[in-house]
Every structure is written in C-alpha cells, then in structure tokens.
Chains A and B, each alone.
Chain A
C-alpha cells in the first residue's frame, strides 16, 4: 500500500531541493565572477548576474537547432545533473541517496556529460568535437586519483553508500580530521579542480583556443540549459566533496534539535560548498591552462601517486 500523502510530500521536497540547487548554482556563478573580478582588481558583475544570464538566454527570440540529436543535449544535461543532485545527501538530508550509492552517483554524473557530448557532436562543428575529446580525456585524468581516494574511504567506512558515510561522520567525526583522509582531501580537491573545469584544467572549454569547445554551436535556450547544467554541476561536485570529507555539513543532529538542525545544517552546508568552491576559484584566478597531456600526466603521475600511497595505507591499516 503506497502512502500517497508521504509520496506527494517527498516529490514536493525533491522539486524544492532541486530548485534550490539550481538557484544556488546560479548564485555561485555570480559569486565566482565577482570574486575573480575582485582578485583582478575589477568591480565585477552583481552577484545575481547568473540569474540574469540564464533568464536572458531563455528569453531569446529565436533559437536554432541542428536536429533532434542536438536537442538531446539540452534535455539530458539538465535532467541528468538534477538526477545526480537528487541522489546526493544534502546537508544530511538524503532524498534518494538511500536508493543508490557512490558508484551510482559517479555514473549518474556521466549522463549529462554524455548527453552534452551527443549534442555537441551532432552540431558538426570540429571545435566541438575537439572540445569533447579534451573533456573526456580530462575526465579520464582526474577520475583516477578521485576514485582511489573514494575507494579508500569506502573500505575504511565499510560502505559504498554516501548517506552512510555522511552518517558515520556525524558529531564532527569528519573524515578530514583523520590524517590519511586529510591528504586524501587534498588529492580529491585537485581532482575537483578538473571536475569543475576551472583553471589550470579548463582545457575542454578553452575559449581562446577552440571557441568554448563543446558549446560552440549552442545559443539561446540550448545554451541556457547548458549553463544550468554547468552551474548545478558546481553545486553537485562541491557537495560530493563536502559529503565525503566534511561530513556533509552536518553539525547538529536532527533528533536532538528538530527543525533548527535542518536550518543550521543547510547554512553550514552552503558555507562549506562555498568555501570549497572558493579554493577552486583562487587556484583558477592565478593559473594558466595546462595542455591535455600535461593534465593527464599531472593527475596520473603526481596526484595518483599520492592516491596510491593512501590506498597502501588503508590496505595495511584495515584488516579484513
């Protein structure tokens, strides 16, 4: 017997949280541009610039399409990233994260990427194809250190479920306070830089080389959808990092403090993802761009080496 009232409430909460995610993503876009501008001694746009940009793109009078495969990009990228967000525990609130695990999230993140790649390929522009090639190779590069750290955590916490990892970090037993995972957090933060496509790993976008790569043919509402994907992507990826290493931003337990805990946790979560994003922005502001082989070598030689040390540490330390 399905409880329809509960189901409706759950769906409404899911819609609300997704909308909140998109809203925060757009806000982050403005904040990022403001911070970058301040680092470069400029005034910068207002922090609500992200909302204006997206609204403008969706109010463009005419839009072009290169065919139905091209349209798939807009659909899959927005839907896929929202789906990935639903499977993440946000500030300790697990919407659907009990129904899947970290492997699922890692593969759900591939839905928007592949959809996007389909649309970019369908546009027939060689720049887009080169951009996708670079994006996929960057993905290959940063995934190795990232999965090394994630697998070390899975074995340490003896679960693959992100919700359980967040639970086990409750009461401020954050993973980052464990020495080995402090190093792990540094490794994963480097991987996050590639995931967020910030410099020095903004190789796929590279506006000056390949005219924004995959996005070269996108305009109007299609570009708006892609911007939503990119902005939400920031929230999803930083939340993944915060869930893994910073206990998902949970500092008050819900059973003890009730509604207050939700509010406080959400605020802490917001501040933490902002902080993680801020670090990425600082690195972004001062570095030039790697070439793709250099990025691959950086990740697989140095970052993955540290990741390997973490794996050995866990391998020796954890007895079955």
Chain B
C-alpha cells in the first residue's frame, strides 16, 4: 500500500499538473489524493494504542516497507513520533487543498502538483527509518517548496529560501556523513553511538540544519520573506505543517537516535544536558525576538510570519529541556501551532480573497462583514495568546511548568514576556483587520473557505476540554525514549508543582458567563450606527476624509523603544558573514592566475610538501 500511495501521489502530480487550465478539477483531484495519508494514519492507529472502529480503517496499510538499494536499504516504517507528526500534517493538508479550490481562479495545476510533492516528501520523512530515505524525501520536500516559493515570484524570497535551504541541506548531509563515518550504517536502529566529540559535532550540525526549517533564530531570515510573498494556502501549510518537520527532525535525532542519556554525557547543568540547555536558550531568544518583531509589522503576513517564528521558539524550549513534561508541552505546542497558525493564515487568505489587501493599516471593520471568518480567527487568536478557553493554554502551561521544574530562572520570564507580547500583536490583527471602522463592503468568505477554517478550529476546542487525551497520544512516543507519560486523567494534568483542571476552568467560566449574561440582560439596549462615536461633539460625516481607524503605526511608542535594538537584525549578521566570505573567496581566487608557470610551481610545491611530510613522519 505504501508503494501504491507513492505511485498515486506521483500520478496525481502529473495529472493535476496537466490540468493547469482547469483549476477546479485539478483541485478536486488533488483533494482526493490528499486524503490518502489521513487514511493511512487511521489504519496505523494501533501504533498509538488507539483502537478505532473498523469502518474508519477501510484502507489497510502495511506498517513497514523496505527497498534494497546498493549502499543500504530504504526503510519506511510507522513509529509513534512519525504518527503524531503525520496526524498534524495529514489533517492539515486536505483542508488547505480544500481552501485553495475556491481561492485560485486560474493557473493552479502547478500549485497542486508541487503541494502534492511536498506532502509526499513529508510523508516519507515521517516514516523514514534510515538516513538515506530521510535525506531523499527531505530533498523532495525542500525542492517542491522551492517551486511553490518561485510561484510567489518575489526575488528576495526565492534567493533567501534557496540559500538557506541549501545551507540546511548541507548541514544535515554533513551531519549524516559524520554519523555514517562513525557507525557504518544508515539505519537508525542499528546505530550504536558513543559520547565522542564526532557524534556531538554530527548532532550539532544536524540540529542546526533542522533549525533552518524550524525558523530558529538566527536561521529564520528566509521565513518572513517566504511567508509574506507566497500564496496563502501554501503559507498556511508551510507555517502550520512543514515547519514542524524541522522539529520532528530535531526530536528524532536528539531523543530517538542519540538519546537523553548520551546527551547528558556531554555535560549537564542542573540536570539538563548542556546541549538541550543551549537549544532552550536559543528557543527563548527566538520566542522573544520573534514576538517583538511581530509587533512592529504592518503587513499581515509578515506579522504572522514573525509570530510563527516566536511560537515555534517555544517548541525548541520544550525540546531543549527534554523532561517528559517538556516534551509533552513541546508536542502540544506543535499541535496547537499547526492548527491555529493555519487558521490565521487561511483567514488572512480569505480576507485577501475578498478585499485584495494585506496591509493591516488599510483593512478594518471586517468583523461584522465576515463574522464566521472573524470567529474562527478569534478562536485561533485565543489559542495563540494562550487564553485558557482554548487548548493553547495547556501547551504553554506545560512548558512553563517544565521550565520551573528544572529551575530555568532566566528563561521562564522571557517565555512569559513573549506570551504577553503575543497579546500585543494579536490585538493588532483583531483591531486592524476585524474591528473598528468598516471600510469595505464585502461578503463573507465562500463556504469552501470557511469549512476548512472551522474544521481546523475543532482540535483546539477538543483538546481544551480533554488535554488528557493528548497526553495519551504522547505516551507511546515517550515510551520509545524510556520515559513515562505525565500523570493525567482526561481533563486534568498533574505535575510535581501543580495541577491543571480544565473542567473546573470551563464550568467556572460558564457559571460566571451566566452571571454576566443575567446582568447584561437586565436592561434593554438599542443598536446605534457604527460611526456614532464621541469625538468631542464632531459628527464624523463632516470629516469623511479623515480615517477614524487608528491602526496605522499602531504601536509607535513600542517601536520607538525597541527599534534601536532590533534594527541591526539577523539579516545584517548574515550580510557581514557573506561579505567576509566574498573577501576570502576573492583572495583565494587570486591563486588561479592562468599562467602555466605558476601552476607548475604549485605542483612542485605540493610535491615537495608531500615528500617532506613523508620524510618527517
């Protein structure tokens, strides 16, 4: 079945690519193809100790697949970790395709073809059991993303993605080579690593290679350009789904291949491996800096891009701390981020579809015009800001608890402040796009765009009420790392420090809402016009040439304070590195003079050095 899946995907790529002139047909075909990974996921649910009714498992996939290649064997096998990330990607992907059916009016065949290829690549990555397979599928994924970035057509985005993608691939490849050199095998299960510096170098290279895809600072430079200049459904999948693959890779290699005890052997600090500690610090810095930069953006997509970077930083913190609590929190954050960020990007796409605008200062008042889009993004925003009426809070809470448990005294305040900073930029979205002065007389987004958004909101609500179900999902993953899942019941989570009971929160909130509702109903009210505002007695219609929407330069005082510290961003750093490389390169180029005499002298020198070395040895 796995062979068949790959074949169907490849055929689908060809078919939808040929149907470029019929975007709707291509979209529908792509949608049906995109459902296959989800069915595979259902049939593999026994890996997670979940028993599903048989009518959900009508397709029967084998759990492992092998193909003998010259130097090694290509192995695909479902693991709990792969299952978990496949859950995120395979449930997001059909929704994104469904959204794009009405989003694209023409010229969409290439889009669907490349999207199917990225999903095929991710499918392979998540199942790969050896470095060869992993790398092959990683390259398929990376190059098809490049095709989608090129569709966006922005030169800076293409160049930055290409260079950072190449950097990432090189780092990963170099790390794999070191591991192969050390162990002589490609297969994860057969590797027997020791605490040598070579392995440390390999794992550092691999993790920094994955950090590019996960947009950890300072490797995040490509993300804002790509996110803000590509097509919206793709960006939703890139930010929601594909960026998780970086963290999947980090988790696979840090805890699956290397393992916690080996990580600890390179030095620990207060019970946390130094390797993980530095990853957590980088993650905290990313969370904070991403948040601050997000507050300063005016382009809706750029804001969401920096917010993505900040939120992904939390996952890195969790993976760095590495206790069961922290890993659970990191996975939970990955799940939440998949869904809420996809909803937000899709909502941005729906807003663009109706208004043709991305600048926050040019939008406004869409909340009453597009109420369902607004409500879906409101839920997503609650999840992003970790308000305890969506599941977003539980993830952040687990991470905070893990940090306090390991006494991360300086990282935790940064995490919390990044969380507060999230309120700032989510309010910018809320006010700038959905509230305030109504500027556009538009209709609600089409149903085929609303349905995916609302389906993606559902997990945020389900895991709000039953965070214990999520912890159940993590149990097999942690078991693989010789850890046990954190104590829980369906609606409570216990840690060594405190307890979180979602049922108490929900019922108390419903109770207080009823109380507030009674107060609210105590008196009748009349609706007044939206523009019936108090402006020192000035009727607004006298001043229709002045916009009453105060969203332009909304956080100006904030920018005044923070901009000096952030104006020399990471891009500047990379430019300096690039300039240094150019100086070095042009210096090295001088060797090639083009004169035959010089070359013969080089050969002679080389020969002499070799002979001298041999004699001295």
Residue B589 interfacial (CB < 8 Å): no
Number of A interface residues at 8 Å Cβ cutoff, please give it.
89
A-contacting residues, B283-319, CB 8 Å: none
Asked if B548 and A296 sit within 8 Å, CB to CB, the answer is no
Asked if B435 and A137 sit within 8 Å, CB to CB, the answer is no
A-contacting residues, B407-452, CB 8 Å: 407, 409-410, 412-413, 416-417, 419-421, 423-424, 427, 430-431, 435-438
Residue B531 interfacial (CB < 8 Å): yes
Q: Of the 9-residue stretches B221-229, B234-242, B495-503, B568-576, which lies at the interface with chain A?
A: B495-503
**Given known A-B contacts A101-B498, A110-B385, A137 and B505 have beta carbons under 8 A apart:** no
Size class of B's contact patch? Answer: 35 or more
Asked if B513 and A79 sit within 8 Å, CB to CB, the answer is yes
Q: Which residues of A contact B554 (CB under 8 A)?
A: 129, 133
With beta carbons under 8 angstroms apart, the residue of A78, A99, A225 that contacts B504 is: A99
Residue B561 interfacial (CB < 8 Å): yes
Asked if A111 and B388 sit within 8 Å, CB to CB, the answer is yes
Number of A-B residue pairs with CB-CB distance less than 8 Å in the complex they form: 254
Residue A272 interfacial (CB < 8 Å): no
Q: Of the 9-residue stretches A146-154, A168-176, A261-269, which lies at the interface with chain B?
A: A146-154
Residue B387 interfacial (CB < 8 Å): yes
Contact digits for A51-74, partner B, Cβ 8 Å, 1 yes 0 no? 000000011101111110101001
Residue B69 interfacial (CB < 8 Å): no
Residue A23 interfacial (CB < 8 Å): no
Q: Which residues of A contact B505 (CB under 8 A)?
A: 83, 87, 99-100, 104, 108
Q: For the complex, what is the distance from the CA of A96 to the CA of B400, rounded to whole Å?
A: 20
Asked if A155 and B416 sit within 8 Å, CB to CB, the answer is no
Chain B nearest CB: distance from A132 CB in Å?
Answer: 6
Residue B270 interfacial (CB < 8 Å): yes
With beta carbons under 8 angstroms apart, the residue of B410, B416, B511 that contacts A106 is: B416
Q: For the complex, what is the distance from the CA of A199 to the CA of B419, rounded to whole Å?
A: 26
A-contacting residues, B250-274, CB 8 Å: 270-271
Chain B nearest CB: distance from A299 CB in Å?
Answer: 11
Q: Which residues of A contact B417 (CB under 8 A)?
A: 140, 143-144, 147
With beta carbons under 8 angstroms apart, the residue of B406, B497, B550 that contacts A130 is: B550
Residue A49 interfacial (CB < 8 Å): no
17 A-B residue pairs with Cβ-Cβ distance under 8 Å, sorted by A, are A11-B511, A18-B512, A58-B523, A65-B526, A74-B520, A79-B509, A86-B508, A111-B387, A122-B435, A124-B548, A124-B549, A126-B548, A129-B549, A133-B555, A147-B416, A160-B400, A297-B561
Using CB atoms and an 8 Å cutoff, list the residues of chain B in contact with chain A.
Answer: 270-271, 365, 367-368, 382, 385-389, 393, 396-397, 400-401, 404, 406-407, 409-410, 412-413, 416-417, 419-421, 423-424, 427, 430-431, 435-438, 492, 497-501, 504-505, 508-509, 511-513, 515-517, 519-520, 522-528, 530-536, 548-551, 554-555, 557-558, 560-561
Using CB atoms and an 8 Å cutoff, list the residues of chain A in contact with chain B.
Answer: 11, 14, 18, 58-60, 62-67, 69, 71, 74-80, 82-83, 86-87, 96, 98-104, 106-108, 110-111, 113-114, 117-118, 121-127, 129-130, 132-133, 136-137, 139-140, 143-144, 147-148, 151-152, 154-155, 158-161, 164, 211, 216-217, 220-221, 224-225, 228, 291-293, 296-297, 307, 311, 314-315, 318, 320
